[in-house]
Amino acid sequence: MKGLFATVFACVLATQGWADAGPVLRVDYSNPKLIPAKWTLVLYEDGSAHFHSERGQAAEEQPAEMDPVTVDREVRLSEQFAHRMFAIVRRHRLSDAVCESHMKVAFQGLKTISYSGPEGDGTCEFNYSKNKEIQQLGDSFVAVASTIVEGARLEMLRQHDPLGLDKEMQYVVEAAGDGRLQQLGAIRGFLQQLEADPAVLERVRKRARILLAREAE
């Protein structure tokens, strides 16, 4: 099965023109109870990446227009972050024996991490890992995906409910502070738009400035 996965993964990379782009990391995440229920992040060593999410069937908790159905976009993460993620993957040589703990812990979402590069290919699938670095790897990618999805949600609020930006931006500042959101550079462009937009509340603009300053540190 792993050999088949590696073959399919390599074919996908070649078909989409990624095979010549150098080493690549792909993260697939699924949790049917969350919104989005599935997402994929393809990351390169220079920090360039592509993100795609699918909403899934979880019950609505807010008006549909505030809930991005799908997100599909190119994003830019920091080169430092990308190098750290690649270093962890190369150090541990991905395999299910390394990644999955098989411990009875709460379901955190199924994460499949795949690597393709000159050293070879590897993949592993896990809910929770006893390996501290692998668990942190998964947590970091989840936090990055949350940032990208949150950016899409902020865009929709700006269009449909500008006053709702106030509460949502408060959450973003708090979540970026405690690590639930990472790599704010992925939504830098939109934060810059908010900072310069006189049509939104001054508190929203101030929080955008705070986030941009934090991202630049």
Over residues 142-148, mean pLDDT: 98
Q: What residues does each domain of the chain span?
A: 2-216
Least-confidence region, from 19-28, 103-112, 125-134: 19-28
179-214 pLDDT per residue, tens: 999 999 999 999 999 999 999 999 999 999 999 998
Average pLDDT over every residue of 102-110 = 93
Are 90 and 112 in contact by the 8 Å Cβ rule? The answer is no
Q: For residue 119, what pLDDT is reported?
A: 85
Residue 62: per-residue pLDDT: 52
Instruction: Look up the pTM and report it.
Output: 0.87
Q: Which tens digit of pLDDT belongs to each residue from 32-78? A: 999 999 999 999 999 999 999 998 887 665 555 567 779 999 999 99
